[in-house]
Structure 1
């Protein structure tokens, strides 16, 4: 299990642009698999040397059996000895990264097209759609990040804890220990919840307070599971988990009165669903939990599905991207295998929760874009340097790379990369990694800093314009209102400096200039002023880093996208 504290993060809603691809389902596997990026096997031999020189293989040669194939260089022009040496040098550098994941023919073409510039050739190979599937050996797994959200006491932690136990991620000895300790604490039914609720305060209160994180595998995917808090006091922490998710699991309580309490005004079911959609999540599994409390009644399941379905459609979810699964987390029914309970089998023949998780379509990863990692945690470890954790939003990184940190606008060197405590040489967009850093003072690095490509750094500013969607609010939004900006892992006080205009929700047409206030449901263009420089990207250039959320007095009041960065 992994748990990162003092984290804040977000992104945005789809109302601003219909072709918002971040977080959407995609059929094509465009991405490098972030779980196994460095697992290539490099074998350079005499065969390569002779192939570059266009020398034929001789009888009895170790590689004579390969003669049935056309030499990879057959369509390439004859090269001079100098060019052959340059080609070999570039290929050696490329193989240090790509190893055997890309064919020799593809690398040779890239080197020749880039005029023997190894870095340009590498970027060219990694950016070609026709070779995206070969960038990283997937080993039959596709990494996906899932956030578990829902109203407090809906049973999220118990559900996920029992799922992990059934998958063998928690052994019987540890589970027995949790059962005994929870019984001793007078919370016997919380034993499975303790798998993810690890702190003493969480166990004492019986409430998830921070994002619990762990991983498991399905038949086709590597899943990073993030158990988000349901209580309204910990919504900022919930935003952190949802902001890092590719898909979400919304857990609701089927018990009479409990679903209504979470779904009606004041409950967190509506707010959580709206937030995950605003943060770019488009695929959703709705887990109707505690169905045993209503005797597995199909009428109750249908009632809940209909009410939620209508709201989720209004929030921007497509019906085809939402699935409903009846379960009971405490007893483990319909979690990893389809339930055999007669009361459920009589009317439900759909997938169990694990099957539904496995059926989610993998997200598109912006591997071809400049490197970006948002710092979620900073800590000193053994040895020289220090470590940061965070999700790689775009690009890729290798051990030994020089990166820029914004702010404080200082260069550093990456001495080590780890994913789920396993060391790697290489990691890509979608990975939540730990980087060991040297060359910069740890005191200058804070949560919210962004590690980026030195040649294409992220911009910083104290003033920017944004298009926002106003949520349900108690008071109108006016000029000068102090708000809290949630951007990726950054939480920063700021002020609404100007209300520029009210916009048409669909067309973006200006309906009114210089409005005096903004109310529920409006789209608007506003200008924000922060207290110190913050790193930002324009939404049109970098959707992954162009979203943010505004909160005021403990409530989420708006989601937005950055449209203009002021100098």
Structure 2
């Protein structure tokens, strides 16, 4: 596990630590039946999240249509009873039968009603597309990087013969990242636009660090896809097995449905409109027809991270301004619609960092649903321990409360052995705990990257949020029609590329998951094998 920090305006901004290893769970979990949970939806929003598109739009979204269709038919089915640890008086479920969402929604309106909308923005793209340089230069132009620090980066990078990496060093802080010239972990920093407060997540592009990128994608609301427009480089990243395609498929399958495509390094093509339009045409077709984005949710912006053109101000480059009159990169980011925040649901906080701090055990992660306050009791699953929230750090400042969508650092009291907590664990409301299961039913869509047919006994790695766990395909239930979701073949012998199917998965250890219809943030997943992403899906039943 690697912890890094970036100094912005002289203040340390925490970098989320990520770990591509497999989550482990403690043994000896005993369970007892509890009352079924009735989860009250959050307040209505015009923004849909992830695969939960309006029915009339599903035909326009291949990935959504293929996975979501039969889920609606199951929406009235009763969920399995939640699981709680037995034999502990403090762990008994509440007498309350129904989660009360009103209080959480009132607190959210009181605390956030008058502020800027929070957006978790993930920057993705093929290795060497210029992601870190682009966003580092953007932060510099916004005044987030002191001139003294920028001068230091320039001098140090020049000594190493890597002067063009100076802006990338704003985000790539570690010595190994700087010496290798690539991002390895998900870096985090913050900036503001006119109407948004942005948490910037800079994801690695190299294929060896895709698991780290997935961790970042699981925290994202929206994304910037950076492509290198240099002749031959775009083709390498997009058409020759590069990460442009895989990253786009990953973020879409993990719930991101708004995208800005930064056509970077266009200065190397003399700001050619023809080159820009060629890239836009190829990417638009792929993003809409294969990845499942809607055309209105994609914005293409020509720019250059190295020279800083068209980032925060309209370009003064004559070769560009004579044909491009659209938005700057900053304006495009500001135009993202704020996502739905499921505050009115029971607490779910995914753990992506664990360390011992001066105040006690610290757990970093993202609130997927609900809210948390100092003094609250939380249930740590799958180990079944109860802890108390001592303090909450949000935006590098200590506070008393945090809401769905917030990246937070929480100090816990009452954990007997901190070493048993791992990345991928979930903190939940003790009265409405997250499910812990060793068998799930899911609907998946397979991708082009699938090289070997999926059969019974097939093994892969399941990614849900920051959790990754090896799974075995226990049963192929049915193959489904890609458009209607109807069963076209029961108990197929195998699954090939670009098909829809229902199947049963068995993780090697108990994992924390939810049914997609209840908690979308923890009910969607990706499936990887042999270093590539072969499928995405949603969980339809937790046994």
TM-score band by shorter chain is: 0.7 to 0.9
1:474 aligns with 2:451: yes
On the 8 A contact 1:406/1:451 being kept in 2, the answer is yes
Please say if residues 457 and 473 of structure 2, whose CA atoms lie closer than 8 Å, have aligned partners that are also in contact. Answer: yes
Question: How many matched pairs?
Answer: 466
2:99 aligned with 1:124, yes or no?
no
Partner of 2:166: 191
- Structure 1 residue 3: Cα displacement: 2.2
Question: Given that residues 140 and 219 in structure 1 are in contact (C-alpha distance below 8 angstroms), is that contact kept between their aligned partners in structure 2?
Answer: no
Question: More displaced, 150-159 or 474-483?
Answer: 474-483
Distance 1:531 1:306 in 2: 43
- Cα deviation per residue 1:53-78 (whole Å; 9 max; x = unaligned)? xxxxxxxxxxxxxxxxxxxxxxxxxx
Q: Distance in 1 between matches of 2:528 and 2:97?
A: 43
Q: Provide structure 2 residue ranges, at least 5 long, that are not aligned to the other structure.
A: 1-5, 7-13, 23-49, 52-62, 73-94
Report what 2:521 is aligned to.
Answer: 544
Cα deviation code 1:434-490 (max 9, x no counterpart): 000011131221111100011110110111111111111111111111211111111
1:356 aligns with 2:407: no
Deviation at 1:517, TM superposition (A): 0.9
Residue 67 (structure 2) aligns with: 16
Counterparts of 2:204 and 2:460 in 1: how far apart (Å)? Answer: 22
Alignment of 1:429-468 (within 5 A): 429-440=404-415, 441-468=417-444
Maintained 8 Å contact 2:71/2:517: no
Matched with 1:168 is: 143
Aligned residue for 1:135, secondary structure, equals helix
CA contact (8 A) 1:126 1:135 kept: no
1:516 aligns with 2:528: no
CA distance in 2, matches of 1:367, 1:342: 47
Residue 274 (structure 2) pairs with residue 299 (structure 1):
yes
Please tell me whether residue 214 in structure 1 is matched to residue 265 in structure 2. Answer: no
Query: 2:18 is matched with which residue?
Result: 6
CA change 1:118–1:480 in 2 (3 A) is closer
Q: CA RMSD in A?
A: 2.2
TM-superposed CA distance for 1:422, in Å, is: 0.3
Structure 1: runs of 5+ lacking an equivalent: 22-116
2:18–2:215 Cα contact (<8 Å) kept:
no
TM-aligned CA distance change 1:20 to 1:119, over 3 Å: closer
Measure the CA separation in 1 of the matches of 2:457 and 2:465: 24
Alignment check: 8 A CA contact 1:148 1:227 kept: yes
Distance (Å, rounded) in 2 between the aligned partners of 1:150 and 1:391 = 23
* CA gap 1:455/1:245 in 2 versus in 1, 3 angstroms: same
8 A Cα contact 2:101 2:345, kept in partner: no
Query: Rg bigger for which structure?
Result: 1
Task: Give CA deviations for 1:143-180 in whole Å, capped at 9, x if unaligned.
Answer: 10110001111110100000011111111111111111
Q: TM-score, normalised by structure 1?
A: 0.79
Structure 2 length as normaliser, TM-score?
0.83
Q: How does 1:158-557 map to 2 (within 5 A)?
A: 158-314=133-289, 315-383=291-359, 385-440=360-415, 441-472=417-448, 473-557=450-534
SS at match of 1:388: strand
Change (3 A) 1:356 1:524: same
- Which one of 102, 112, 117 corresponds to residue 142 of structure 1? 117
Aligned equivalents of 2:17, 2:71: Cα separation in 1: 30
Structure 1 residue 186: Cα displacement: 1.1
Question: Residue 293 of structure 1: SS of its match in structure 2?
Answer: helix
